[in-house]
Structure 1
Amino acid sequence: MRRRFLSCLGAGIGALWLAGCSSGAGGGEGLPEPRRIEGDSIAIHQIVKPSRWAVSAGKAIVQAQGTDSLFYVYRLPDFRFLYTWGRRGDGPGEFAAVTIANAWDGDTGEVILQDFRSNALKVFSVGDTTWVQTDTLPSFPDSKVFSDDRPLEGEFLGTKRLAEGREEEYFYVRSLRNGSELDSVPLQTVVEAQYDEQGRMYSLSRVNTPKVIARGDRVALVYELVRHIDVYRVFPEGKLRLLHSLGESLDDAALERARTVRSRTSQRGITGFAATDRYIYTLYIEFEVSDWQAKTAEFRRGIVYRYGWDDPQAEAFELASPATDILVTGDDRFLFTRNDLEDFDWVHVYSLPQTSSGENTTGKTR
């Protein structure tokens, strides 16, 4: 189906449109061939333009664009609308600029909002009728460079930003007490930044920057344009140790293809991210660009990859309907998808195949 890429596109699709992706088609290196799964559709009766969504306390949290209400809350798994929460504005108790900092962590029982106006991370519990703020955490912003911040277990802060004086992106573990850097790892991100005469960053372009997913003391760096995940453990002193890497190789050749793929008609990449206690989920999509100037494209396929946290295995499920983002319930039973190339009139729900610890893993890859 051919769709025009409009301003309602989410950040994931926007990144692919601007940069493209280096991953190959099909199963890919070290990845299994997908099996097709069928789903049902659920109608959405609210007029909502999602920018991001998350799951918390068994509910779907949809962050909206262009409305007075910031968040629409739905019951899972039937996706029945419950209430709106949060007002957009500059008044007391309102939010001028905010985003869900832990959107990809899955159902951890809390929602963490990065409030850019107050430079704070605000923690909320989500109830049946309202949200209750339970904590406020500092983010220690840098006055000269942009950064993405989120709390980690153990009084730590995870930060993505450029290294001082270099166009190289790093993931830092910092102290929540004073913002000091405790450890860091380089990221395979293609970066272009611009600075003013005072050395303050005013423009930043990042290709293949990873999403940061945290569950307990584990952190997954899930890259956007190559099907590759690095899983780390954060130790009590704030040090990082690589546990394993999943998916395709993230080498110089893959990064070079990501740099030069802008003019190609075949586009591929990761646009959906989710996690549970057992698994990391990613949505990989392929589409054909029919007109670069008009920004029209034809959706080809969407594949959800499921990776184990502790005993890394990959499974792949090809979706019956086009999708650009995913949401997974905490028990790994239901997968929800939305398509940002269309109005938010429907979500699709899939029953995920269940595995057990004693199941034969033939057909899966390590």
Structure 2
Amino acid sequence: MELKSNASQLPIPRLLLLIAPFFFWGTAMVAMKGVIPHTTPLFMAGVRLIPAGVLILIVAAWMGRPQPKGWDAWLWIALFALVDGTLFQGFLAEGLLRTNAGLGSVMIDSQPLAVALLCLWLFQEHIGFWGWLGLGIGVTGISLIGLPDEWILHFFNSDTIVEIFSTASIQQLFASGEWLMLLAALSMAVGTVLIRFVSRHADPVMATGWHMIIGGLPLWGISSAVESGQLQNIVPSDWFGLGYATVFGSAIAYGLFFYFASSGNLTSLSSLTFLTPVFALLFGNLLLQEVLSPLQWVGVSLTLVSIYLINQRETLPGVSKKVATSEKTITQQQQVLEASAKTINKVTLPVRKSESEMLP
């Protein structure tokens, strides 16, 4: 299934499947809010991976998808598991304990910028002016959603700017969990790009299931060695949250995401990550009565604008004109070739005729 950069041209059912991973990730964040204080981070990260990977393998086998074969396939899956499974979930879980949840969400969901740069370098995916503008607006939007209002309102104060970029603030940044969240975002971006290489050697759905199991086992191993009290404080309602996050937030979400990422435009697909905090915010407001501030509503609007710009970057003014010019040039070249061919035929036919007259 190919992901077009112009998402508006997709049929409605396919478009809903395309958005589904980000909806499930956002709502899973809401479901996990009550679970996080009752368990340990690495154990919870393993729970989100290993059972979900088993579910994906069962569904993939039922669909008749082939198992990975050969050393190349398993080596790529192992690398995929290390980066997108162990490192991403590990950095994310540990970073959430050491940073503000809103700031952590902003830093994680800014990974489309890293994906865009990697795809520009590795696959020469076109980004252009509208694409970069959309990415910038998207980061601004999720910043308005996740960062405290007082940070934003006082950001342009000269004293505030000096304080933010002071040596003490930078040291405080790396002493807390922000750098772990940055590493998590980078790991997710690299994992998104890696699936393109993995799918050359193995079925992308099967590879997704195996990478979740292989990547989750080290997390459980480290958890058993350095953590304690993983299950003692979990209440019955927590199991519902864990179940939703595992089935919908991991198995279905990752299965769909990496299925689309294996063959589609990664810049366009990754830009939909900006929807994750939007869904988390809206359902937090609906289910947990969390109040949205005016700045957060502005952030939601900017996020939707950014996704439109990124996914419509090939058809917006300027780009479409270049495409039309290229098509016109190709048509003119074809006309010149056809005219040349007719001229050659007119020249060669008399020659052939005179040669035949010379025959006895």
Q: TM-score range by the shorter chain?
A: under 0.3
Computing the radius of gyration from Cα coordinates, the structure with the larger value is: 2
Structure in which a larger fraction of residues adopt helix:
2
